């Protein structure tokens, strides 16, 4: 009786998979993506290595694997700033530019998108809701915004852990400080962040957030 | 439409503006993945320094504002 049952089960399994042993194909392993530092120049690679040493045993590769698995990053700007510093200047890259490159803080797209979606009321975003979700003051999000998104893999952009010396860093002075920079890949509000170097304007998607 | 004249539009993401009365103001983009703007009016001493050093002074002052946006209570939201 047991042998008959076993046979019936085996048969139904073969029916489910096509009754041919050759039809069962193992799922191919996910394609391994190169490190986001692969696109960096020697200077940025050296900065990234020093940052990884400081953050050890953590590092940029673990940070990306944990928080930026899809390699998609986003950031927010008030509409007026987007017009003044991106559109009117015809900027080629996002961020603060010096002789070494253009430096841009970004967060996981899913995190920002979720905060924005949650904040929408009657077709407009609520700054308090975005602020609370992203661990930042609501006043940072007042007025119409632009949300930029960049695929680090597709654009082959250089990225690494942000460091104290990066343009735009406002270092926290005490552990209680918020809205300021703490080394380690997370904002003082606990949101994952990454430093993107030379994020190309023409490869980013830009969404209006009324 | 602002009647301020743009003296410097910097790739560091700041602008130096001059009002019709001669007052100089730095308009600086601060923040991380959520950027915002603050404005700081230059004192007479800072305006003199800018007159002497030009863009190098404006760069230094703008970077000092990015590194500490409240800027000793002198900044206002843009």
> Domain limits at A96?
38-209
**Dist. CA B10–CA A74, nearest whole Å:** 23
A168/B30 touch (CB, cutoff 8 Å), yes or no: yes
Q: Phi/psi at A189 (nearest 5 deg)?
A: -90, 5
Q: Has residue A177 been placed in a domain?
A: yes
Q: Which residues make Cβ contacts (< 8 Å) with residue A42, sequence separation at least 6?
A: none
Local structure of A91: helix, strand or coil = coil
A105/B77 touch (CB, cutoff 8 Å), yes or no: no
Question: What is the ipTM for the molecules in this complex?
Answer: 0.93
| Structural domains counted in chain A | 1
Q: Has residue A136 been placed in a domain?
A: yes
> What is the per-residue pLDDT for A5?
52
Q: In the predicted model, what is the mean pLDDT of residues B49-75? A: 95
Whether pLDDT at B16 is above 90: yes
Q: What is the pLDDT along chain A (210 residues), one digit of tens a residue?
A: 555 555 555 445 444 444 455 556 777 766 778 999 999 999 999 999 999 999 999 999 999 999 999 999 999 999 999 999 999 999 999 999 999 999 999 999 999 999 999 999 999 999 999 999 999 999 999 999 999 999 999 999 999 999 999 999 998 877 777 778 989 999 988 999 999 999 999 999 999 999
Q: DSSP character for A164?
A: T
To 10 degrees, what angle do helices A60-67 and A42-55 make?
Answer: 80
| Residue of B30, B33, B63 with shortest CB distance to A76 | B33
Rounded to the nearest angstrom, the minimum Cα separation between B14 and chain A is: 8
Rounded to the nearest angstrom, the minimum Cα separation between A142 and chain B is: 9
> What is the per-residue pLDDT for A18?
46
Q: Has residue A7 been placed in a domain?
A: no
pLDDT tens track for B41-57: 999 999 999 999 999 99
Q: In the predicted model, what is the mean pLDDT of residues B19-36? A: 96
> What is the per-residue pLDDT for A16?
46
Q: Is A204 exposed, middle or buried (0-12, 13-18, 19+ CB in 10 A)?
A: buried
> What is the per-residue pLDDT for A24?
67
Q: Has residue A16 been placed in a domain?
A: no
Q: Has residue A80 been placed in a domain?
A: yes
For residue A166, what are the CA distances in angstroms to A129, A171, A183, B55? 29, 10, 11, 20
A139/B77 touch (CB, cutoff 8 Å), yes or no: yes
Local structure of A61: helix, strand or coil = helix
Angle (nearest 5°) at CA A167 between A165 and A169 = 70
Residue with token string 């070494």: A100
Residues of A contacting chain B (CB within 8 angstroms): 74-78, 80-81, 84-85, 89, 91, 95-98, 102, 105-107, 112, 134, 136, 139-141, 162, 167-171, 179, 181, 187, 191, 193
Q: Phi/psi at A56 (nearest 5 deg)?
A: -45, 135
Q: For chains A and B, count residue pairs whose Cβ atoms are closer than 8 Å.
A: 75
Q: Has residue A32 been placed in a domain?
A: no
């Amino acid at each position: 009786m047991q042998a008959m049952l076993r046979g019936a089960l085996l048969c139904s399994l073969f029916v489910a998979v096509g009754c041919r042993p050759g039809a069962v194909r193992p799922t191919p392993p996910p394609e391994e993506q190169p490190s986001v530092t692969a696109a960096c120049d020697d200077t940025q690679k050296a900065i990234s290595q020093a940052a990884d040493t400081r953050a050890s045993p953590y590092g940029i590769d673990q940070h990306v694997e944990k928080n930026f698995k899809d390699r998609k990053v986003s950031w927010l700007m008030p509409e007026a700033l987007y017009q003044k510093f991106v559109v009117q200047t015809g900027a080629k890259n996002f961020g603060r530019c010096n002789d070494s490159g253009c430096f841009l803080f970004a967060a996981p797209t899913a995190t920002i998108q979720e905060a924005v979606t949650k904040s929408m009321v009657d077709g407009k975003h609520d700054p308090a809701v975005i602020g609370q979700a992203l661990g930042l003051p609501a006043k940072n999000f007042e007025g119409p915004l632009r949300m930029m998104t960049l695929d680090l893999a597709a654009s082959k952009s250089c990225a690494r852990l942000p460091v104290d010396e990066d343009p735009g860093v406002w270092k926290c002075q005490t552990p209680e400080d918020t809205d300021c920079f703490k080394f380690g890949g997370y904002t003082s509000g606990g949101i994952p962040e990454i430093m993107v170097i030379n994020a190309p304007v023409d490869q980013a998607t830009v969404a209006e957030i009324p | 439409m602002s009647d301020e004249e743009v003296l410097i539009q910097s790739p560091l993401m700041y602008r130096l503006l001059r009002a019709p009365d001669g007052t100089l103001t730095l308009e600086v983009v601060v923040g991380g993945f959520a950027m915002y703007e603050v404005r700081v009016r230059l004192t007479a001493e800072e305006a003199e320094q800018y007159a002497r050093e030009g863009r190098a002074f404006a760069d230094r002052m703008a970077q000092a504002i990015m590194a500490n946006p409240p800027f000793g209570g002198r900044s206002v939201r843009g």
